[in-house]
Each structure stands twice: as structure tokens, then as C-alpha cells.
Amino acid sequence: MLNRDEALELIERLPYIRTLQAANDRTLEQLFREALAKEDYLQWVQIIKTCYVRQHDTSKSRRPLTPALAQLGQQANDRFRQLLANALDIAPEQVDAYINTHLEENW
């Protein structure tokens, strides 16, 4: 559980958290599952960012998300939003807008 100050610090660190890298989708799926099992919110961010990059990659070597990876990514996203919502005392649906506003105001 995060308190408000920890949540704000985490939001400010979001741009610097790296994606997860794996040789293939099976290995990546295993990394996602392990990260979700650990309840480690920094790894949840890595999952979310990895899914985002894969979904928005426009290169010719693009590897779309498998259904399993997409589902695990959504689980990480839901957990992360709920974590921040609790810490910031806002609704989970407001978390994305809060993050965007906070980063714009503090950069």
C-alpha cells in the first residue's frame, strides 16, 4: 500500500521505468506472470509500458500482443490504477488524467 507522497514520487518516476525485454512471447508471458505474482507495482509499470510499446509499434518488425499478454497487461493496469486511486483518494477512472496532469505540471 502506498501513501500519497509515495504515489506522487512513483508518478514522477514513471517516464524513467523501462519496459521488459524477452527473447520470445512465451518468456515474456512468464515474466509478466511472475511480476503479477510478486505484487511489485514497479514491475506492473514495466508490464503496462511493454504492452503499450508493443501495441503502438509501427515498425515492420512489429510483434503484436498475444491475447495472453494483453490480458496480463490489463491485469497489471487495473491493479496499478487501483493502487494509485487508493493512495490519492480518487476513482480508478481518474488515475490516467491525474498522472498526465501531474507530469505536465512538474516537468
**pLDDT per residue over 6-37, tens digit each?**
999 999 999 999 999 999 999 999 999 999 99
- Is residue 7 within 8 Å of 88, Cβ to Cβ? yes
Half-sphere exposure of 57 (CA within 13 A, CB side): 14
Residue 43: count of CB within 10 angstroms of its CB: 19
- Is residue 29 within 8 Å of 59, Cβ to Cβ? no
Q: What is the pTM of this model?
A: 0.91
Only one residue has cell 523501462, namely 18
Residue 24: count of CB within 10 angstroms of its CB: 9
| pLDDT at site 36 | 95
Q: Evaluate if residue 104 carries a pLDDT over 90.
A: yes
Task: List, for residues 68-81, the tens digit of each pLDDT value.
Answer: 999 999 999 999 99
